[in-house]
């Protein structure tokens, strides 16, 4: 019965957009052609009354997304950071979704706290406020610890939010499957893998123990980053559905009037937001994956405070280097190198023409860099790059989806602070620093040293493996009792170990 239910869910989504008036708003924001608008109205109008009504006091798109549930709200939160895509008026309306959603009753939150922490609330906290912020997944209360009087933030999941998300994700799987069936050309984009990635991200966000672990790791990674801080989790007061953090006080990143009144330099703040994100992604390989204005506060001294660590991104060293080289290549307009990186990383099939790919990349980069700073956009670059990679058979890289999406969001945050900001000028020194540290003799020595350390773990096994390999070589009749690959493995380990140690020692000297 899942198929019919999911089909009904998708029909109801379209009907809700039509009933709330959001369909017209979205088509206008997309500057959709007349034929698409006509088709949307013809297909949506018969089902209009099946749509959810939502809160009539809210603007149409906000009304539709809040009625449809958490997964759709996440989509609206992303759009809220893109005034250059949806327009300033619509972006301001959608910002409501970031931390101003209707809260659930305090009594329900208190019951969940007592259940999750297995103790009466008044034994743990001397005071718990009404909700101070409410988002799609959870809401936050200010509280005071009963034993120390220290102020903390208590995050509580919304009741039944897990079931609501699973319902939406199931419908998304159905839609992805239908798209792959109807449009085989989309299979290279791996829509089902994209949904699986989204599902894994959501599952992590629905377990506050994982969020507490992310907060602790992120705080440790960034403790020396000037002008940036992360609240620390209080582990004994955290569980699957409740998390307690140190309290963080500050102005909302999206409140430009408050920032101006406090004398905060918004241009410097925008530069710092972009710089910190790139540094976390490239230096640490661990970055905040949901950096919209609702998850960022600014202290009176101008320090940025990050909140909400349910969505965090992680990329391995190889991918970081490839991503940095691609960015650096675009910054330097070295399109041949950008093409080579795509081929070296396996992003583009090896049977394609690298020179043609480099020329296509130039057609992406040159128009972007010839624009005024106000019009240079990572979102536009990614859109153009998507068109080019489609022609060359590049498949969707699910490990980069969150990184690319977050870069677009962070750029939107920076532009909301200063519409004139040029993210390429901001990115250049960060990427150059990473390139110096990660590509070159110093990086090679570090890689070889790490390899040598790994090889030493095989040390206790080497005598036995060497003996077995030599016996097998001297006595062919006994080879059947000797692991077939023992000889090559042993000599490869020994050779690599000697070579690695020699190069590392040479580099150190």
Q: Are residues 178 and 288 in the same domain?
A: no
Instruction: Assess if residue 466 is contained within a domain.
Output: yes
**Is 176:141 a contact under the CB 8 Å cutoff?**
no
Per DSSP bridges, beta strands 312-314 and 286-288 are antiparallel
Backbone angles phi, psi at 82, to 5 degrees: -120, 65
Of 401, 421, 438, at which residue does a domain stop? 438
Model confidence at 370, pLDDT cuts 50, 70, 90, reads low
Residue 502 is predicted with a pLDDT of 43
Please state, in angstroms and as integers, the Cα–Cα distance from residue 154 to each residue in 191, 207, 238, following that order: 36, 14, 9
pLDDT score recorded for residue 419: 87
Q: Is the pLDDT of residue 289 over 80?
A: yes
- Is residue 225 part of the annotated active site? The answer reads no
Please give the order of strands across the beta sheet that includes 251-252. 228-229, 304-306, 296-298, 251-252
Identify the CA nearest to 304 among candidates 254, 243, 235, 379: 254
Most confident of 46-50, 106-110, 193-197: 106-110
Is residue 153 domain-resident? no
Contact 91, 83 (CB under 8 A): yes
348 and 460 assigned to the same domain: no
In terms of domains, do 494 and 418 share one?
Answer: no
d(CA 10, CA 14): 6
Q: Are 134 and 102 in contact (CB under 8 A)?
A: yes
On whether residue 223 sits in a domain, the answer given is: no
Question: Which residue range(s) make up the domain with 62?
Answer: 2-99
Contacts of 238 (CB under 8 A, 6+ apart): 208, 209, 212, 244
Residue of 246, 253, 258, 245 whose CA lies nearest to 277: 253
d(CA 412, CA 270): 10
- For residue 286, the SS3 value is strand
Q: How far apart are CA 340 and CA 350, in angstroms?
A: 11
Report the side by side order of strands in the sheet with 151-157: 125-134, 138-145, 151-157, 242-246
| Band of residue 232 on the pLDDT scale cut at 50, 70, 90 | very high
Check pLDDT > 60 for residue 483. Answer: no
In a domain, 51, yes or no: yes
pLDDT at 238 over 80: yes
* Per-residue tokens: 416: 């909301």
DSSP state of 233: B
Of the listed 260, 290, 355, 372, which one is catalytic? 290
Given 78, 99, 120, the domain boundary residue is 99
DSSP state of 149: -
419 and 450: one domain?
Answer: no
CA distance 84 to 372: 14
Closest listed residue to residue 309, CA positions, set 388, 428, 205, 413 = 205
Residue found under tokens 């580099």: 507
H or E segment to which residue 313 belongs = strand 312-314
Q: Tens of pLDDT along 130-159?
A: 999 888 788 999 999 999 999 999 999 998
**Claim to verify: residue 294 and residue 359 sit in the same structural domain:** yes
| Cβ atoms 328, 431 nearer than 8 A | yes
Write the Ramachandran bin of 118: left for phi over 0, alpha for psi from -120 to 50, otherwise beta: left
Note the pLDDT of residue 43: 60
Same domain for 417 and 468, yes or no, is no
Tell me the pLDDT tens digit for each residue of 382-423. Answer: 666 666 766 777 765 656 667 877 887 888 899 889 988 887
CA 140 from centroid of its chain's CA atoms: 22
CA–CA gap between residue 236 and residue 233 (Å, rounded):
9
Nearest-angstrom CA–CA distance, 232 and 148: 16
Look at residue 111 and tell me if it is in a domain.
no
| 346 lies in some domain | yes
Q: Contact, 310 vs 211, CB < 8 A?
A: yes
Model pLDDT for residues 155-190, shown as the tens digit of each residue: 999 988 888 787 777 777 877 777 677 666 556 556
∠ CA 223-229-231, rounded to 5°: 105
Of 71, 99, 127, which residue sits at a domain end? Answer: 99
Q: Can you tell me the distance from the alpha carbon of 421 to that of 267, in angstroms, rounded to the nearest whole number? A: 7
Rg (CA), the chain: 27
What is the per-residue pLDDT for 83? 58
Does residue 346 share a domain with residue 311?
yes
Query: In this structure, are residues 354 and 340 in contact, taking their beta carbons and an 8 Å threshold?
Result: yes
Specify whether 306 is located in the same domain as 447: no
- Residue 406 C-alpha from the chain's centroid: 5
Pick 328 or 99 by higher pLDDT: 328
User: Which residues, including other chains, have CB under 8 Å from residue 243's CB and lie 6 or more apart?
Assistant: 154, 155, 208, 209, 211, 212, 233
Instruction: Quote the pLDDT of residue 114.
Output: 96
- The domain tally of the chain equals 4
Q: 484 and 427, same structural domain? A: no
Does residue 156 form part of some domain?
Answer: no
* Same domain (yes/no): 45, 85: yes
For range 496-509, the mean pLDDT: 40
Phi then psi for residue 151, to 5 deg, are -80, 135
In a domain, 217, yes or no: no
Cβ 115 vs Cβ 157: under 8 Å? no
| 423: nearest Cα among 405, 406, 404, 408 | 408
Rounded Cα distance, 278 and 21, in Å? 38
Asked if residue 409 and residue 449 are part of one domain, the reply reads no
- Return d(Cα 462, Cα 496) in angstroms, integer: 13
- Please list the residues that pair with 244 across neighbouring strands: 154
- Residue 14: per-residue pLDDT: 77
Please indicate, yes or no, whether residues 198 and 286 belong to a single structural domain of this protein: no
């Amino acid at each position: 019965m899942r198929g019919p239910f999911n089909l009904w869910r998708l029909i109801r989504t379209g009907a809700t957009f039509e009933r709330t008036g959001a369909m017209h708003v979205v088509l206008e924001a997309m500057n959709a052609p007349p034929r698409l608008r006509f088709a949307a109205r013809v297909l949506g109008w018969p089902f209009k009354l099946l749509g959810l009504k939502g809160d009539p006091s809210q603007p149409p798109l906000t009304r539709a997304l809040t009625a449809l549930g958490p997964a759709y709200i996440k989509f609206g939160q992303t759009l809220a950071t893109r005034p250059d895509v949806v327009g300033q008026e619509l972006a301001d309306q959608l910002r409501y979704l970031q931390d101003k959603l209707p809260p659930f009753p305090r009594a329900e939150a208190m019951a969940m706290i007592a259940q999750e922490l297995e103790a009466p609330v008044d034994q743990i906290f001397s005071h718990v406020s009404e909700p101070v912020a409410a988002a799609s997944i959870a809401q936050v209360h200010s509280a005071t610890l009963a034993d120390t009087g220290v102020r903390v933030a208590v995050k509580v999941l919304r009741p039944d939010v897990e079931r609501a998300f699973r319902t939406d994700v199931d419908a998304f799987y159905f839609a992805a499957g239908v798209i792959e069936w109807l449009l085989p050309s989309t299979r290279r984009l791996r829509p089902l893998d994209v949904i699986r990635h989204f599902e894994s991200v959501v599952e992590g966000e629905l377990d506050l123990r994982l969020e507490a672990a992310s907060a602790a790791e992120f705080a440790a990674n960034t403790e020396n980053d000037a002008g940036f801080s992360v609240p620390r989790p209080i582990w004994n007061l955290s569980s699957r559905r409740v998390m307690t953090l140190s309290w963080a006080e500050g102005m909302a990143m999206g409140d430009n009037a408050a920032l101006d009144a406090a004398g905060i330099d918004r241009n410097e703040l925008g530069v710092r937001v972009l710089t910190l994100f790139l540094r976390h992604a490239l230096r640490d390989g661990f970055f905040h994956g949901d950096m919209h204005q609702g998850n960022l506060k600014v202290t009176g001294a101008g320090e940025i405070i990050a909140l909400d660590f349910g969505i965090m991104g992680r990329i391995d060293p190889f991918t970081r280097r490839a991503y940095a080289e691609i960015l650096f290549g675009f910054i330097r307009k070295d399109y041949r190198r950008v093409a080579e990186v795509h081929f070296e990383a396996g992003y583009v099939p090896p049977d394609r023409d690298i020179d043609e790919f480099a020329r296509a990349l130039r057609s992406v980069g040159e128009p972007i860099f010839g624009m005024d700073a106000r019009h240079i956009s990572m979102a536009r670059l990614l859109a153009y790059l998507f068109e080019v990679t489609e022609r060359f058979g590049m498949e969707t890289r699910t490990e980069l989806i969150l990184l690319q999406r977050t870069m677009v969001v962070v750029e939107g945050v920076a532009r909301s602070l200063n519409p004139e900001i040029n993210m390429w000028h901001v990115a250049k020194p960060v990427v150059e620093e990473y390139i110096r540290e990660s590509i070159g003799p110093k990086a090679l020595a570090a890689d070889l040293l790490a390899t040598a350390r790994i090889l030493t773990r095989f040390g206790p096994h080497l005598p036995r493996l060497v003996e077995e390999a030599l016996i097998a070589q001297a006595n062919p009749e006994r080879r059947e009792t000797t692991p077939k690959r023992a000889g090559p493995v042993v000599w490869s380990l020994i050779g690599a170990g000697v070579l690695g140690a020699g190069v590392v020692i040479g580099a150190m000297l």
